[in-house]
């Protein structure tokens, strides 16, 4: 894949050294000159579009009792980064049931009230399972920044779940920032996520 997505205008000169049959990536609103279009067709170049991601500003968050303390750290960090958030609870460390709090965030995403959500429980697994029962939610559990990046870049995850017992506050910051800074842009990944959506639709009544 030859990346030309930084160019606002592509001419035949930009394509002259690209081998026939190659794949090129261009910006979403790129201007292709008529001679560039001819060159693409003549040399059978495969073109994919790098989409610009919408900026995330509002985030739904929640935690069970195991994740309460880390959620409070998360709130301070989101403030530092300049994000708005709504805290669906829990609001102290008294025992609660994680499905209730995972569902509140997941349903808010499903209803379109927030673009993304972050849920914290002890391991991150139970909340992830719960959230993925809600139509339109693609929840991913991340325990490092690489997994967080992959979940957004490849799977367009709109909910992040974290396990408070298995990551530190510093790791949480790294994971969350990477997750919020990453978006899906490649056509092949977008196509695959559309297939995920079509599978989900088969089971909706």
The residue annotated as part of the active site, out of 13, 65, 86, 154, is: 154
Is 154 a catalytic site residue? Answer: yes
Q: Which class for 163: exposed (0-12), middle (13-18), buried (19 or more C-beta within 10 A)?
A: buried
Look at residue 80 and give its three-state secondary structure: helix
Helix H or strand E encompassing 26: strand 23-27
Pinpoint the alpha helices (H) of the chain.
12-15, 34-42, 68-81, 98-110, 125-131, 145-153, 169-181, 187-202
Task: List active site positions.
Answer: 154
């Amino acid at each position: 894949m030859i990346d030309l997505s930084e160019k606002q205008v592509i001419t035949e000169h930009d394509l002259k050294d690209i081998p026939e049959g190659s794949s090129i990536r261009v910006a979403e609103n790129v201007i292709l000159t008529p001679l560039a279009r001819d060159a693409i067709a003549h040399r059978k170049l495969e073109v994919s579009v790098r989409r610009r991601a919408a900026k995330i500003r509002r985030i739904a968050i929640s935690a069970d009792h195991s994740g309460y303390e880390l959620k409070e750290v998360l709130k301070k960090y989101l403030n530092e980064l300049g994000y708005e958030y709504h805290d669906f609870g829990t609001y102290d460390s008294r025992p609660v049931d994680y499905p209730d709090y995972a569902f509140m965030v997941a349903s808010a995403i499903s209803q379109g009230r927030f673009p993304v959500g972050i849920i914290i429980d002890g391991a991150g697994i139970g909340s992830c399972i719960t959230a993925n029962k809600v139509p339109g939610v693609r929840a991913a559990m991340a325990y490092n920044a690489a997994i967080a990046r992959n979940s957004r870049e490849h799977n367009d995850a709109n909910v992040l779940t974290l396990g408070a017992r298995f990551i530190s506050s510093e790791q949480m910051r790294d994971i969350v920032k990477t997750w919020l800074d990453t978006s899906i842009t490649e056509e092949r990944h977008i196509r695959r996520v559309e297939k995920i959506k079509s599978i989900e639709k088969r089971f909706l009544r």
